[in-house]
Chains A and B, each alone.
Chain A
């Protein structure tokens, strides 16, 4: 199974709401990633977890809070977002070590709209 699943597919939230994005993989990968992608732009790395520990935080605002409850699950908790945070949020997973990190498997993304 080489599938990464993400829920929900679409999310509309107000600036005062709290919501969560979920990501799941069953490929035994021990690295998981969150990316943000705006229209007609490349994906931008936000967070990386390695062995369930936060490895990289690309200076993401604190209104985005990642969580990795176990090796298969990755969450992104959202609170007090701004309209400019509207984007496609992508989750990915990969093996750990050497070039394996560059063979990432992506989910279909969550289309987030902040009103």
Chain B
């Protein structure tokens, strides 16, 4: 399983775009990249998933360069309610192995 590395914490202000980068140097050909968001005392919530290039949904965008050794979660115009921990996970898409391993996560604090 590819190991992921993220910044421990980030600060931002309301209305700004926030980019959180995850490093996964040992990512395998069959691995997908998934991001989760977790608020205090709640379970994680799936945000977005991708394999290469760019994926966008109503919540965020995910940018993956050609070498796939890193990925960037982009949150447009954050608000106070985006204060949370964001986790990057990497896992095999073919075997569908259930062994999901969360990295340490990035604590995002959005200020007014």
Contact A106 B100 (CB under 8 A): no
Report how far A55 CA is from B98 CA in the complex, Å. 8
User: Contact at A102–B49, with CB atoms within 8 Å?
Assistant: yes
Could you say which residues of chain A place their CB within 8 Å of the CB of B41? 88, 108-109, 111
A90: B residues at CB distance < 8 A:
43-44
> Given contacts A42-B104, A99-B49, A102-B32, are A109 and B42 in contact (CB under 8 A)?
yes
The number of chain A residues with a CB under 8 A from chain B is: 30
A102 near B100: Cβ-Cβ < 8 Å: yes
> Which residues on A sit within 8 Å (CB–CB) of B99?
45, 48, 56
Is B43 touching A99 in the complex (CB atoms < 8 A)?
Answer: no
* Cβ-based interface call for B5 (8 A): no
B70-82 Cβ-contact flags toward A at 8 Å (1 or 0)? 0000000000000
Across-interface contacts of A98 in B (CB, < 8 A):
93-94, 96
Pick the residue among A33, A88, A101, A109 that contacts B96 (CB under 8 A).
Answer: A101
**Is A100 in the interface zone, CB < 8 Å from B?**
yes
Please indicate the chain A residues that have their CB under 8 angstroms from the CB of B32 in the complex.
Answer: 99, 102
Q: Write the chain B residue with the least CB distance to A105.
A: B46
- The residue from B91, B94, B105 contacting A102, defined by CB atoms under 8 A apart: B91
Which 8 pairs of residues, A with B, have the shortest CB-CB distance?
A106-B43, A42-B102, A48-B98, A102-B34, A99-B93, A97-B96, A99-B32, A98-B96
Q: Which residues of A contact B (CB under 8 A)?
A: 4, 31, 33, 42-45, 48, 50, 55-56, 88, 90-92, 96-109, 111
Residues of B within 8 A of A (CB): 32, 34, 41-46, 49, 87, 89, 91, 93-94, 96-105
